[in-house]
Structure formats: structure tokens, C-alpha cells
Amino acid sequence: MSLSDRLDSALAKLPPGALAVGYSGGADSSVLLHTLARSASARARGLRAIHVDHGLHADSAAWSEHCRAVAAELDVALDVVRVEVERSRGTGLEDSARVARRAAFARLLLPREILALAHHRNDQAETVLLKLLRGAGPEGLGGMRDLRGFGAGYLWRPLLAESRSTLLAYAHEYELHWLDDPSNSDMTLRRNFLRGDILPRLRRRWRDADAALAHSAVWARSAADFIDGEARKALAKMQGLDPATLFWRDWLALPDALRDPVLRLWLRELRLDEPAHFHVAELERQLRDSGEDRLPCVTFGDSELRRYRHLLYALRPLPAVPVDWETQWDGSGALPLPAGGQLELAPPQKFEPPLVVRYRRGGERIRPAGSAHTRELRLLLQEAGMPPWLRGHIPLVFRDGQLIAVGDLFFNSALVDSGTRIRFDPPAAP
């Protein structure tokens, strides 16, 4: 079966949708674009190409013109998009260019459209080795998926089972013209170092190294998919009423193979940062070793995990509460708070003299409506199960020196009898 036939067979298994080829002008993407341009099935779906100009090389404009000429010769519409590569990301120029390119693809992709990329078996071998050197688990060692959701549609890699020699043979057979990016010979880049130095050595000893690594990726991908399914089941059982909470003892009791995936799945669904492996190890240590009176906390990126009682909380750090802040509020309008959030009266009414609003300073007391005794606020918040890191963000409302409301948690009888309610919209996570 020819490469064209294999692509047509793979194309028939795709969900409905138009096709867009990520076309760099290099040999691999030139083969992919040429093969799909010759396919009646691909044409019938609607076929176009997208070229991303990273602006990192003096000849990048000429490369764009080359891509335009090839696409015109193949009668394929081409979109050329220029991106700005952020050089200060701290993850290297190679990774920054990839992030910018992916963002451009995602932005241009139409609903249900399928973006075809020309990654092949050799690329898969490089990816598996890179992931292995980063200490990845089954998900990373599974390498690149042939089809997955992306942007408004899908990302498709139909050439993952093909060797680069097969693609080059096709390119020479059809006398294709392609671009050679000089950055591909830069051995300071990790992938280039593997491609140009390490993998050739492996192939001299193990001729089928690329195929073996790709085969291992298939096994790892199957294991990763199974683990992901089990992790979703486990997460559903141990998540609190608040989705941002987890029963930490249940999490610790999970098998080693599930503990890390469950944590990462939970954080991804909350759109929070994912921790490094040493952060997870530190979290486990603190949860196992810290006494019940302690408040373990592990911070990474712009996220943190905190334990309080039987729950583990995932959150972004809240803004700091200004020391000794205090203001007057007549209740006629919403009151923005300096640590985020706001207070409102329902229904609005004007207090004369105005109310005084501030944060906790310690020692405050209130007699909640329905209670026969004045209670210490500290104890009320503990009994309510309010996590300690949130207590300082609750605004206190005073009238004539008397505490009449604690956010919208506790009110005294006078406020309740007046028919007035206070609504507290807490600060949103940054």
C-alpha cells in the first residue's frame, strides 16, 4: 500500500470536518501537503494550509513566499500568519516558538476543522526520549497522539507510523522542493541534539531503535489512557462538595500509580497550575507527617494546595489584606473592598451615621441572631469550618461600635429584625 493509500485509509476514519495542513515548507510538511492535495477525499472535505512565520530568521519572509508559491501550484488556499515569539519565557527559544505556533493554529482553526501536522515515527522517537529524560510518566512516554481535540477542532498526525526515509523517498519521487531551516543544525537545541547526535548512535547499535521507541509509546499510551480512566473514577469519589476540595486521606490511600494522576487531573479541571514531581512528594510528606493542628501548604507557580481538617484545598493565593484598613459606608451603594470583593445591602438603605467596615484584628465578638450569648468571632468561624486563610478576608460591619455583621455569615438580631440583609461577594481568585 502506498503512502497516499495509507493516508486515504486514515482519512476515512476521521470525524467530519475540513482539513488544514500545518505547512512549514520543510520536507515533512511538504510531503503531507502534496499527498493530501492529490487526495480526492481530502479535497472533498475542504483543504487549506496554514504557514506560521516566526520571524526568527532573516529569510523568514522568503520562506513564506516559497510556501505561497507551492500552495498556489497545488491549488490549495494558504493562510500566512506572523507571530511574535516571546524570548523571555525562560523555557528556551525552541519551546517559545512552539507555544506561539500552537496559539496561532488554535486561533485560526475553524469549528470541527482538523489540523494535520507532519510528525513522523522519528519525531515520535525523539519525543519519547525527551520525555524520558524529563522524568515523565506513562502520559508523557506515550508521546504524541495521532488524534486529539485542539482549539475548535482536532489535531491529526497521520504520519506517526511512517519513517522519515519513507517521506524523503516520496519527496524525491515527486521532485518536491522544500526548505531547510538552518536552526535544525543547532546542536544547542535539545531535540536537534537527540536527532543529530544521540539517535544516530543508537541506530548504529539498534537498527530498529525508532520503531522500538514508537512501539513503546503505543504501550505507554494505552497504559496512560487506562490510568486516566481510573483517575477520573477515583477523583469523582473523593472530591468535596466544593470542586476545589479533595478528601486528602482518601487521596493518600490511593495506589502510587493513581495518586499523581488524580492530583493532576483535579488541578487541570480547576484550570490551576500543575506541580513538579518534587512538589507532589513534598505534599505527600506534609500530609503524612504534619499533626492535626498544622496547616500544610505547598505552593507552585500561581497555585497552592492547603490542608484544613479533612479537606485539601486547591486555590490561587488571595490578595493581601491591608493592615488596619477601615472605612465608613452608608449602605446606599456597593462597597468595593481593598482585598477584593464587595459588600452590598439588600434592599439598599442609607445609614446615618454611616456604618464602619474593617477586617479582623482579633478579639471581636458578636451575638448572632437567635443566640442567647455573645460569642467570640474566632470560635464562630472555627465552628463554621471556615479555612483559616479565608478568615482574614471576611469584612466586619460595625454600627455605633457594635459588630452587627460578619460578611454574610453572621448577623446580630437588630440587623435581622430590620429586614436588611448584607451580601458579601468574596474576592475572585487572581
The pLDDT mean for the chain works out to 91
Q: Which amino acid is at 24?
A: S
pLDDT at 3 over 90: yes
Name the pLDDT band for 145 (thresholds 50, 70, 90): very high
Higher-pLDDT residue of 323 and 278 is 278
Give the neighbor-by-neighbor strand order of the sheet with 147-150: 77-82, 47-53, 19-22, 114-116, 153-156, 147-150
Name the pLDDT band for 89 (thresholds 50, 70, 90): low
Q: Could you read off the pLDDT of 301-312 as tens digits, one per residue?
A: 899 999 999 999
The DSSP result for 71-96, as a single string, is HHHTT-EEEEEE-PPPTTSSS-HHHH
Name the pLDDT band for 430 (thresholds 50, 70, 90): very low
C-alpha cell at 320: 493581601
Average pLDDT over residues 223-249: 95
Confidence at residue 421, expressed as pLDDT on a 0 to 100 scale: 85
Q: Assess contact for 19 and 42: CB atoms under 8 A.
A: yes
Q: Which amino acid is at 334?
A: A
Q: Distances in Å between the alpha carbon of 253 and those of 250, 288, 312?
A: 5, 11, 14
Q: Which amino acid is at 297?
A: C
φ/ψ of 156, rounded to 5, equals: -125, 130
pLDDT at 284 over 90: yes
Domain boundaries, the chain: 3-217, 239-315, 326-425
Confidence at residue 90, expressed as pLDDT on a 0 to 100 scale: 56
Distance CA 201, CA 210 (A): 12
Q: Could you read off the pLDDT of 103-130 as tens digits, one per residue?
A: 999 999 999 999 999 999 999 999 999 9
Higher-pLDDT residue of 254 and 421 is 254
Q: Assess contact for 341 and 426: CB atoms under 8 A.
A: yes
Higher-pLDDT residue of 345 and 85 is 345
Distance CA 141, CA 169 (A): 29
- The CATH code for residues 3-217 is 3.40.50.620
In 3D, which of 86, 69, 89 has the Cα closest to residue 78? 69
Residue with cell 479582623: 360
Average pLDDT over residues 351-363: 91
State whether residue 232 is helix, strand or coil: helix
The DSSP result for 347-392, as a single string, is S----SSPEEEE---S--EE-BTT-SS-EEHHHHHHHTT--HHHHT
pTM (2 d.p.): 0.75
Confidence at residue 308, expressed as pLDDT on a 0 to 100 scale: 95
CATH architecture of 239-315: Up-down Bundle (1.20)
Q: Assess contact for 132 and 143: CB atoms under 8 A.
A: no
Q: Assess contact for 25 and 178: CB atoms under 8 A.
A: yes
pLDDT at 31 over 90: yes
Name the pLDDT band for 51 (thresholds 50, 70, 90): very high
Distance CA 126, CA 144 (A): 11
Higher-pLDDT residue of 50 and 186 is 50
State whether residue 52 is helix, strand or coil: strand
Name the pLDDT band for 182 (thresholds 50, 70, 90): confident
Name the pLDDT band for 373 (thresholds 50, 70, 90): confident
Confidence at residue 88, expressed as pLDDT on a 0 to 100 scale: 61
Distance CA 359, CA 324 (A): 8
pLDDT at 232 over 50: yes
